[in-house]
Structure 1
């Protein structure tokens, strides 16, 4: 099956975004565009953890509520959540009510604070693992990479949870560390141009 499809505007897009209108908007405006904002990076890696075993469609639909209850993923605030806060979140039908994933997000907020102290920013740390585009596999043909494995290992060594190589690779795809839009996709060139102009955090 072709990795692209002809959308109703006559443009080729990645086939996965044909599932719903919400996917198309996410595909066209977010997925693959490079991000250097620590809060957005923290949000995304948390949501990828919540997605584990589920579909991104489920997470995307619940994202507004996730943002509301996790204080827009301000990791300084999330790191201060206590067991009373966990109990409250477990009663909220608007999010994924999985104790392990909720506690991992709170735990990872604390790990984020430590990593920011170590590396200067979350972005500076993550972007160290940007792959060499010349050695990458064809778009959307793999679910892990040497870099996602290395980043997963580095995070786990620092105590992070729900950051396996597949989760980390999905994070890298979404946050623009790789351009995994299919060849021919109308958004691929836009992402490539944005990546070319993007100032890598140090």
Structure 2
């Protein structure tokens, strides 16, 4: 397996200087910062990433004020009490991107968040305490208990709200395949365990967060050079 220093040096050469490279790296939230997030924020970000999947992100973001109006600011409490027959009505509202199958994820993910909060105090507490050395375990939890949160969707939502996680962008996937970390399906259990092991080892070598390591790998490969950013 390639050493952290080799990855960092290659990313450094591509980005021009240490200052430029470090400026591009994102920092995850601390455990205490994550715990401050409300359950409504998690539901909103899960929904945003579900709608962004396979669609132009800019279009979804432009219509997001309409989403917040239609879904009561993603209030978990209110949405739990929503009558099932209201779902189709909301899915046809012109203020949002009308996709009934994606709208159907709201009550399912709302219930997941509520049940986790009942057991752990809040959904944020649950996420904040999940160990980074098993972050793919959290991905799999979201996939199993939520709706449409498999693949990269759950990971991108976690990253967006500050949970320390790598993401399997095209560059990261290409790196893992080129270095024979994986040779099968990207999201198979075997591949996820192998990728997690690679990141755990890089973290031990560097003391960096999974977020930073993921970005450094992406910056070290692919078509990204000075001034270009990727995940």
SS in 2 for 1:83: coil
- Distance, in Å, in 1 between the alignment partners of 2:94 and 2:130 is 36
In terms of fraction of residues, the more helix-rich structure is: 2
The verdict on how the C-alpha distance between 1:3 and 1:128 changes in structure 2, with shifts beyond 3 A counting, is: farther
The 8 Å contact of residues 142 and 154 in structure 2, kept in 1 or not, is answered as no
Write out aligned runs for 1:118-137 (5 A): 118-129=119-130, 131=132
Tell me how far 1:182 sits from its aligned partner: 6.2
Determine the structure 1 residue equivalent to 2:62.
61
Write out aligned runs for 1:10-49 (5 A): 35=34, 36-49=37-50
Determine the structure 2 residue equivalent to 1:85.
86
How many equivalent pairs are there?
Answer: 150
Tell me how far 1:165 sits from its aligned partner: 3.8
Determine the structure 2 residue equivalent to 1:100.
101
Question: Which deviates the most, 46-55 or 63-72?
Answer: 46-55
Tell me how far 1:151 sits from its aligned partner: 1.2
Determine the structure 1 residue equivalent to 2:139.
152
- Distance, in Å, in 2 between the alignment partners of 1:154 and 1:128 is 14
- Distance, in Å, in 2 between the alignment partners of 1:88 and 1:13 is 45
Tell me, yes or no, if structure 1 residue 171 matches structure 2 residue 157. yes
Tell me how far 1:84 sits from its aligned partner: 2.6
SS in 1 for 2:149: coil
The 8 Å contact of residues 143 and 154 in structure 2, kept in 1 or not, is answered as no
Cα RMSD of the aligned pairs, angstroms, is: 3.3
TM-score by length of structure 1 reads 0.61
Cα displacement string for residues 81-140 of structure 1 (whole angstroms, at most 9, x for unaligned residues): 2333112112212212111111111221122211111111000111233636xxxxxxxx
Determine the structure 1 residue equivalent to 2:7.
none
Tell me how far 1:69 sits from its aligned partner: 0.9
- Distance, in Å, in 2 between the alignment partners of 1:154 and 1:63 is 27
Determine the structure 1 residue equivalent to 2:185.
none
Q: Unaligned 5+ residue runs, structure 1?
A: 5-11, 15-26, 133-145, 186-202
Q: Unaligned 5+ residue runs, structure 2?
A: 1-10, 17-21, 165-210, 217-225
The verdict on how the C-alpha distance between 1:182 and 1:91 changes in structure 2, with shifts beyond 3 A counting, is: same
- Distance, in Å, in 2 between the alignment partners of 1:104 and 1:166 is 16
